[in-house]
Chains A and B, each alone.
Chain A
Amino acid sequence: MADKARLPLAPFLVPCVVLAVVFAAALGEVLGYSFRTFIPGSLDVGGFTLENFARIGKPIYARVLRDTFWLSFLTALFTLLLSYPVAFAIVRARRPWLRGLLIVLAITPMFTGEIVRTYSWMLVLGTNGFVNALLGGLGLIAAPIQFMYRSIGVVIALVQFSMPVMIVILATALTHIDVDYEKAAANLGAPPSRVFLAVTLPLSVPGIVSGFIVIFAWTMSAFSTPQLIGGGKVLMISNMVYLQGLSSFNFPFAAVLSLVALVAALGTLSLAAPLTKAIERRAALH
């Protein structure tokens, strides 16, 4: 039999190699800036210094980093809890029109820009916004609940922003679960709740872990939502980078903050594989 002509791989690698080189160069520049001295009143930077790294030890920056981790964790957790039922319904819906409708409802928010969605949340969560007007009108609250400029408001908006992505990840994981396993469990007498807890949920763990970590790492770089809804009272690491870098032109210190955020995000992502394996091993033992 004649050898089939094989498509050369190299041309397809060129774009990603170019991107990787450009990205590495940009990161290298950021790393370089982190060791340079900031000169107030000038756009230039000075000589070598470790001062920027020493400054990161101040309590305010540790607090911002801690708050960033905590808000990212809460966002990922609530996004997971709210998205799982939607993803499950999409995958298990018997009627194609229902599945289509759920998909449209789930991912349509992605087509509106982040700023538009954030401004919408400002109208909904404001002191005189929709939520307070509704609760007040129903007599459930005597005074408006303060959502804006608080962590709760930021988390609510970030969860809504993250849900489409989480739903897609979870739906993909659930799609790969063979329904025969669920049928077998049901045939052996397990009620639906037991089928879900003993079969479906453990088999969807890789999707849960992936989705959680993706949303966690993604939220760590959130900027416009905490900027607008946090109103300078809720600061995440990206807001601090903006305040120090673009706003103050202290690019060296902004570079250090960026590197810290990058290391934290990469460290979190690196947990995905070992965490998934550990949970799967635990589930297998049961």
Chain B
Amino acid sequence: MRTVKAFIVAALGVAVLGWSGTVTAQELVVSMWGGNWKAGAKKIIASEFTKRTGMSVRFITGGTMDRLTKAKVNKGDPESDLTITTTHVAFLYISDGLFEKLDMSLIPNAKELFPAAIRSPYHIGLYSYVYTPVFRTDAMPAGFRIRSWNDLWGPAVKGKLALPDFDPSHIIVVAALLSGADAAHWKAGIPKLKALKPSIKAFYQSDAVSQELMTSGEAPVQVMLSINGYHLIEQGMPVRIEIPKEGAVVGIDAIAINKGTKNLAAAHRFINVALDADVNRRLAEFYKAGPMNRNAKLDPELAKLPGVFTTPEQWKTQAILIPDEVRAKLLPGWKAWFTENMAGQ
């Protein structure tokens, strides 16, 4: 009996000590995608932040929309202090009051950013990439190139193309542009979109499925996120990333502070570290993306890569930009139309 009592006391003591340790440890929690995305943010931003502040960083991961759903459910008592997400989805967070208004006086590095980086008073761009045609050179005819988005409608691509079904905005806006219209007047591109159906082999629901389709050769031509394309190249896959003459659809991943965070000052500091010229450079080099800090000088070989925008000239001539608010408001209608008219056999 004495032994049992001693054991219970000891166990309680360990629990109290452990609990005390949990309460007193300072920790910042960041919501992010997993895999390569988390790896970059952890290795470059989080480690630098911890080095400068002594505060540890923990990541919680998930898909874009899954994390938004969780944030809405946990409104007022967020699971994380910061969120990194795509800039137009951040608009949905903002519309639901899920982000804190940023105190720019606590983010001095924001003064060094490209204008496109300041997305709103609530979120700031970290790096840019493009959604663009990508193909396996060993699965397409010798000499095959995609010099224009129109090439996706060509006979060589028939039954070989994969598109994202979670966000059809890229192909919808491209079809509108090819039809002489723009994002807001996208319906002008409907005949063009319907004409693309013979090219489509499959739709992918996530980065992982996209990469699997490319790896297995099921869909050797894709409208793919450039960062994923470079990830495949690093793994030894013979993949070519093209920037068509009309440009590529730009994506920007942005960072914001969740409303209700108990670490407001630390969260601002985290953002400032992420936007530091050297940190932003290393992050862009890791992902093969475009930095948002104009003083982040990338390795010249990297800066030459398709989809890595480092100069105002590139932003002007190669970037197809969809305004966040237009995209956030039209995206549900685009998805509904896409599901009803393009998906299915």
A residues with CB within 8 A of B: 38, 40-44, 58, 60, 63-64, 122-123, 126-129, 148-151, 227-228, 231-235, 240, 243-244, 246-250
Contact = CB atoms under 8 A, between A and B. Distances in A.
Contacts of B345: 150-151, 233-234
B343 A243 contact: yes
Main secondary structure of the interface of B (DSSP, over half): helix
Given A126-B216, A247-B65, A249-B92, A228 B209 contact: yes
9 contacts: A41-B92, A43-B68, A43-B72, A44-B96, A128-B217, A232-B343, A235-B344, A243-B343, A249-B92
Interface in B87-113: 91-92, 95-96
B209 A243 contact: no
B18 to A, nearest CB: 31
B336 A248 contact: yes
A244 B336 contact: yes
B77 interface: no
Given A128-B216, A243-B165, A42 B95 contact: yes
Interface residues of B, number: 38
A40 B329 contact: yes
B268 interface: no
Contacts of B150: none
In the A-B complex, list the 8 residue pairs whose CB atoms are closest, starting with the nearest: A232-B203, A231-B202, A41-B329, A248-B335, A43-B96, A60-B340, A40-B332, A248-B332
B331 A248 contact: yes
A102 to B, nearest CB: 33
Contact of B332 (A38, A227, A235): A38
A129 B332 CA distance: 36
A246 B69 contact: yes
Contacts, number: 99
B229 to A, nearest CB: 20
Contact of A232 (B165, B212, B217): B165
B336 A148 contact: no
- Most B C-beta atoms less than 10 A away, residue of A127, A128, A129, A247: A247
Contact of A40 (B69, B213, B333, B344): B333
A255 B213 CA distance: 31
B336 A235 contact: no
B48 interface: no
Contacts of A247: 65, 165-166, 335
B96 A243 contact: no
A232 B329 contact: no
Contacts of A234: 344-345
Contacts of B218: 126-127, 148-149
B339 interface: yes
A120 to B, nearest CB: 12
Interface string B206-225: 00010011001110000000
B165 A246 contact: no
A40 B128 CA distance: 25
Given A240-B339, A249-B65, 19 more contacts: A38-B332, A41-B328, A42-B95, A42-B96, A60-B340, A60-B341, A60-B344, A148-B202, A148-B218, A228-B209, A231-B202, A232-B203, A234-B344, A244-B336, A246-B69, A247-B166, A247-B335, A248-B332, A250-B336
Nearest to B88: A41
